[in-house]
Amino acid sequence: MAEKRPGEPFTRIDVQEAKKMIDEEDVQVIDSREPHEHAEGHVPGSIQIQHMATMAQAAKIARDKPVLFICKSGQRSAVAAEFAAALGITDIYNVDGGHDAWRAAGYPLEEGM
């Protein structure tokens, strides 16, 4: 269930909520993992921006729709979401459980860049 914790500028969602948003809304999904991890399998349509490159690649982040950050388990994506908030982006979500939970739920993955 979506959770907004005090002190966090993003909303935490699980993979089921993320999948529903992706299927039903116009969202941007950012994979905060390393390029080789992204190439091995990622949420279809996601773009790869390493968590520590979020600020440097700010121009690639949507400001007109919800942005979902996902990594392997949810920690790097939380850092990326914090950086996005520092850039003034407000409609941001962190996918708890990350690609590990996405894969475990049987959701589709796309390979390559």
**pLDDT band at residue 26 using 50, 70 and 90 as cut-offs:** very high
Q: Is the pTM of this model over 0.75?
A: yes
Among 47, 71, 72, 50, smallest CA distance to 60 is for: 47
Query: What is the C-alpha to C-alpha distance for residues 62 and 27, in angstroms, rounded to an integer?
Result: 9
* Phi-psi region at 58: left, alpha or beta (left = phi > 0; alpha = psi -120 to 50): alpha
**pLDDT band at residue 64 using 50, 70 and 90 as cut-offs:** very high
Cα 102 off chain centre by: 12
What would the mean pLDDT of 9-34 be, rounded to a whole number?
97
Would the pLDDT of 113 be above 80?
A: no
Walk me through the domains of the chain, giving residue ranges and CATH numbers.
Answer: 11-104 (3.40.250.10)
